[in-house]
Structure 1
Amino acid sequence: MTSDETEQTVSTEAVSQQLKKAREKHGLSVSQIADAQHLRATIIQAIENGDYGQIGSELFLKGYIRAYAKQVGLSGDAVIAELDRELEPARQQKAREREASPLVDIERRKNRKRRIGKLLMIIMAFVLVGAAVILFVVPKFTAGEAGASLSTTSTPGDQAVAANSAEEPTGSGVQPEPNTGVDVETPVLPDNAVDSTIEDRIPIVTLSTEPALAQPSVSEDAGPVSGNLEIAFSGDCWVQVRDATGHQLTSSLKRAGDTLDVSGETPLNVVIGAVDTVKTIRFQGEAVNLRDFPVENNRVEFTLTI
């Protein structure tokens, strides 16, 4: 049999059989593979049996299989590519089940209502701002323009005061009238007489002291909130953290004594592959009790939010 025929045979075999044959070829036992990866022997046995459902997360499954392939001398990339082809039918079936679920339709309706609600709030905010401008800003500018026009327009009272001032003698060259022997008293107006006459003729313009623009009380969605997660490990453990946008903050294998410190937009989705190796876990500086979340096969997946 040629080398091309051998490669074709290997490529058509299931990943589980490729790993098992490679392990037996190297004379290794299931326990030796499990001890090298710090996993339970049942996990390695499930991989060799093709029972991937016991692993749970596809991320951890790929990590275990890549390390397994490297340990028995196989190409990790080639094995993972073959694994993707094997898992594709299961992914499509899961997607169809998810689309058929009534919960998906309910969630879509909720999201649609949220978007409509946000749009209505924005429209209401613009309406309130426009109303405030019409009620407070426009009258203020109108009153200001009226006051400016009155200050630049002369009144008949002003003209009379100016004429009287021009007729008064201003120098010593003016000859006094001859005394005819008759005392004629010239009426003297009080100082505020002219002013009061002018004031009576000028309309009083009152300016509002209320704020020009009232800020409407419109509740708007707060911006994204960042959360901080700290984990200390006492043993080897796979860990993955994603933020609210789906961005992967970390996905790696931590050793004993390692710590993890990541921050991202909440809520944070956390997957821990070996719960018993977590020494401490804190979110926003507060301790998190992993017993509050369901643990399956020493693995836990949960969401943290503020």
Structure 2
Amino acid sequence: MTTTHSAGSAAGERLKRAREASGYDLSEASARMKLPVHALETLESGDWDRLGPPVFVRGHARSYARMLGICLDDEALPSPFTTTQIPSLVSHAHVPRYRYVAENLVRRAVYIVLTASLVVPVWLATRAHGDGATAVAPLDISPSQTSQVEPAVRTPMVASIASMPAATPAAAPVEIQFDGDSWVQLFDADGSIVEKGLMHAGQSRSVQSDAVSRLVLGNAAAVRLQVQGLPVDLAPYTRANVARFTLSSDGSLAPSAP
């Protein structure tokens, strides 16, 4: 059921009266809510369509009501299912064929270089060791004198083995589970959108930390995040019920600016 403008106006009027009764002006309420003044004015006016997707409006309105010590009925809030079209999650992480071929060639070249760095020193040491192992008597010395010929001095050689490069740490698996509707945006290291869309309660999304650099999760209270199988508290990265954070390749999180 879609909330009418009159219903939004009635709920907005309740919010306004509750704020005035609490002794807050809009600037003080904005500081406590960590929302812009114009967003609170829009909530109180009831023109909630200007605030974006209904799922975000519901979160802002409920948070504002809790701060003012009142409770808004679900009938007074916009339905989270009023969007006319649910965008599908589209992956933009396709690897072009030329890049795939180039990466294969680089891997093979690295393998050849590493193999050569190990085999060539060992082969040179073995060859030098074999050249000095047998003493050859001159042809003009009789067999009885060959026993007096001293064998060549063997020079010990040590094969140099190049140090192996440090192994690249494996990407950390990230699991996102949704207990309610939430708007999702995933960005790569270049800031380009990898995926975006509206996820519903009961759905989940799995990504790798080397494929996603920054995440934005709407309705963060209804989102559960696990990195490498361990739960992560989204509270340090959440403002106005929207979680924004960066994700490094080792799975560590850091707050991200809007």
Normalising by structure 2, we get a TM-score of: 0.45
> Is the radius of gyration larger for structure 1 or structure 2?
1
Higher helix proportion (structure 1 or 2): 1
